[in-house]
Structure 1
Amino acid sequence: MGNLSLRADLYRAIDLVMTSADVLPRTFHGVPGAAELLGGHGGGSTAERYVLNVTRSLYANASGRFPLEAAGVRNALAALGQGLAELPVGSCHSYLRRLVLATLVRVQLRIQVPGMPPRDAELAAQLRFSPDTDVLIFRIYRILYAKYRQGAAAKGAIEFLHISKSGGTSMCTVADANGCTAESTTNFGNCMVRRFDDRPRWVSATAHNETAPLDGWRWYYRYLVRRGERTCEYRDEFMHRKHFTFYSNEFAVHGGLDDRSYWANGTSTGTAAGADPSAAAAAAAGAAAGSAPGPTYASAHVCSQFLNVILLRHPLSRLVSHIKWIMKVYRTEYGKRHEDFFRGRDAAWWRRFAPAAVDNYNMRLLLGEGVYYAPIGSLGAAHLAAARLVLLAYDVVLLLEAPDVDELWLKQALGWRVGLRSASARVAGAHRSTAEMMPPDLDTLVKANENDVLLYNFAAAVHQIDGVMFAAMAAAGIRPYHAYEALDPKDQWVGRRVKCGFVTRRQQFLVAMNEDPKSYERSYNGSFPRVLSPDERVRGAAAEVAAALAAAGANVQPDGSVAAAGGGGSSDDDDAEDEGKAGSGGGSGTGRRRQRRRSAARRRLIEGAEGDVEQAEGRAHERAAVESAAAGERGVSGGGGGAVGRGGAAGGGGPG
Structure 2
Amino acid sequence: MDVETEELGRNLGAICNKDTTNNFLQSVRASMMLLRRVAERDSIIAILGRRLVLACIALRRGTLKTEVSEYDGEAFFSDVAKQLYAIHVESVLRKTLLDYLHISKSGGTSFSQAARMSKCRMSGGIGQPLYIGDLPHWLNRTVFENLTNGVHMTWSLYGRVERGEMSGCERRIGNVSIQGLQYLSNEYTLHGGMGGMAGVHLCRQAVNVVTLRRAEARLVSHLHFLLAHIKVRLARSRRHTGMDIFQQKFCINNVPMWESLIPAILDNYNVRSFIGERAFHTPIWGIGPSHLEVARRLLLQFDLILDLDSGDAVSELLMYQGLGWNVTLAEVHARTAEVVSSKNNYSYTECAIEKLLAEVVPRQGPDRELYRLGRMLSLLDQLLLAWAQDIGLRPEPSAANATAVVSPGEAESPIRCGLMDKSYRSTGVPPAEEVNKEEVEHEDPAAANGNE
Calculate the TM-score normalised by the size of structure 1. 0.60
Who is 1:70 aligned against? 21
Q: Distance in 1 between matches of 2:147 and 2:441?
A: 47
- CA deviation vs aligned residue, 1:467-490 (integer Å, no higher than 9, x gap): 111111011111112799xxxxxx
2:171 aligns with 234
Aligned to 2:353: 439
The residue number in structure 2 matching 1:248 is: 185
- The verdict on how the C-alpha distance between 1:304 and 1:432 changes in structure 2, with shifts beyond 3 A counting, is closer
Whole-angstrom distance in 2 between the partners of 1:482 and 1:82: 19
Contact 2:316–2:328 under 8 Å retained in 1: yes
Return the TM-score normalized by structure 2: 0.85
Query: What is the CA distance between 1:395 and its match in structure 2?
Result: 0.6
Q: 1:438 to 1:139 in 2, by over 3 A?
A: farther
1:31-86 per-position Cα deviation (integer Å, ceiling 9, x unaligned) = xxxxxxxxxxxx4x54433222101012122xxxxxx4222112212222332343
Three-state SS of the structure 1 residue aligned to 2:175 is helix
Aligned residue in 1 for 2:255: 347
* Greater shift in the superposed pair: 426-435 or 352-361: 426-435
Tell me, yes or no, if the aligned pair for 1:74 and 1:133 is still in contact at 8 Å.
Answer: no
Highest Rg: 1 or 2? 1
Structure 1's unaligned 5+ residue stretches are 1-42, 62-67, 113-124, 261-295, 485-494, 529-581, 588-595, 612-656
The worse-fitting range, judged by mean Cα deviation, of 235-244 and 221-230 is 221-230
Equivalent residue, structure 2, for 1:126:
67
Structure 1 contact 81–139 (Cα < 8 Å) conserved:
no
Q: Which residue of 1 aligns with 2:326?
A: 417
Find out whether 1:171 has 2:111 as its counterpart.
Answer: yes
> d(CA) in 2 for partners of 1:453 and 1:74?
36
Q: Number of aligned pairs? A: 420
The structure 1 segments of at least 4 consecutive aligned residues displaced by more than 6 Å after TM superposition are none
The 5-angstrom pairing of residues 363-442 of structure 1 reads: 363-403=271-311, 404-428=313-337, 429=341, 431=345, 433-441=347-355, 442=357
Deviation at 1:246, TM superposition (A): 0.3
* Pair 1:51 & 2:51 matched: no
Amino acid at match of 2:139: V
CA distance in 2, matches of 1:380, 1:317: 20
What letter is aligned with 1:476?
A: I
Distance 1:498 1:445 in 2: 45
Residues 151 and 256 (structure 1), Cα distance of their counterparts in 2 relative to 1, 3 Å cut: same
1:158 aligns with 2:98: yes
Distance 1:583 1:172, change over 3 A: same
Contact 1:91 1:152 in 2 (8 A): no
> What secondary structure sits across from 1:218 in the alignment?
coil
Q: Distance in 1 between matches of 2:394 and 2:346?
A: 47
Indicate whether 1:461 and 2:376 are aligned: yes
- Alignment correspondent of 1:264: none
Identity of aligned residues (%): 25
Residues 432 and 500 (structure 1), Cα distance of their counterparts in 2 relative to 1, 3 Å cut: closer
Change (3 A) 1:388 1:446: same
Q: Please state how far the C-alpha of 1:393 moved relative to its aligned partner.
A: 1.1
Select the residue among 46, 54, 61 that pairs with 1:101.
54
**SS of corresponding position for 2:33:** helix
Secondary structure at the aligned position of 1:410 is classed as helix
Q: Report the CA distance between 1:453 and its aligned residue.
A: 1.1
The answer to whether the Cα contact below 8 Å between 1:141 and 1:469 also exists between their aligned partners in 2 is yes
Deviation, structure 1 residue 332: 2.1
Task: After TM superposition, give the deviation of residue 438 of structure 1 in Å.
Answer: 4.0
Alignment partners' CA distance in 2, 1:434 and 1:48? 54
What corresponds to 2:434 in structure 1? 522
Report 1:480-491 matches (<5 A): 480-481=395-396
**CA spacing shift, 1:465–1:88, aligned 2, 3 Å:** closer
Secondary structure (helix, strand or coil) at the match of 1:378 reads coil
Superimposed CA distance per residue, residues 321-363 of structure 1 (whole angstroms, 9 cap, x where no aligned partner): 1001111111221113423331213333322210001110000
Residues of 1 paired with 2:426 and 2:71: CA distance?
30
Q: Which range is displaced more, 90-99 or 473-482?
A: 90-99
Do 2:316 and 2:329's aligned partners in 1 also have CA atoms closer than 8 Å? no
Q: Aligned equivalents of 2:60 and 2:173: distance in 1?
A: 39
Partner of 2:156: 221
Task: Please name the residue that 1:30 is paired with.
Answer: none
In the aligned structure 2, how far is the partner of 1:338 from the partner of 1:302?
39
Query: Which of 122, 146, 150 matches 1:182?
Result: 122
Cα deviation code 1:167-202 (max 9, x no counterpart)? 111111110110101111x3xxx2102111110111
* Equivalent-residue separation in structure 2 for 1:499 and 1:82 (angstroms): 32
- Report the Cα offset of residue 220 of structure 1: 2.1
Give the match for residue 450 of structure 1.
365
Tell me how far apart the structure 2 counterparts of residues 136 and 334 of structure 1 sit (CA, whole Å).
64
- C-alpha distance in structure 1 between counterparts of 2:302 and 2:62, whole Å: 25
Larger deviation, residues 355-364 vs 49-58: 49-58
1:251 Cα deviation (Å)? 0.1
Q: CA contact under 8 A between 1:77 and 1:137: conserved in structure 2? A: no
- Whole-angstrom distance in 2 between the partners of 1:88 and 1:610: 36
State the shift of 1:317 in Å: 0.8
Q: How many Å separate the matches in 1 of 2:321 and 2:55?
A: 19
- Give the aligned partner of residue 276 of structure 1: none
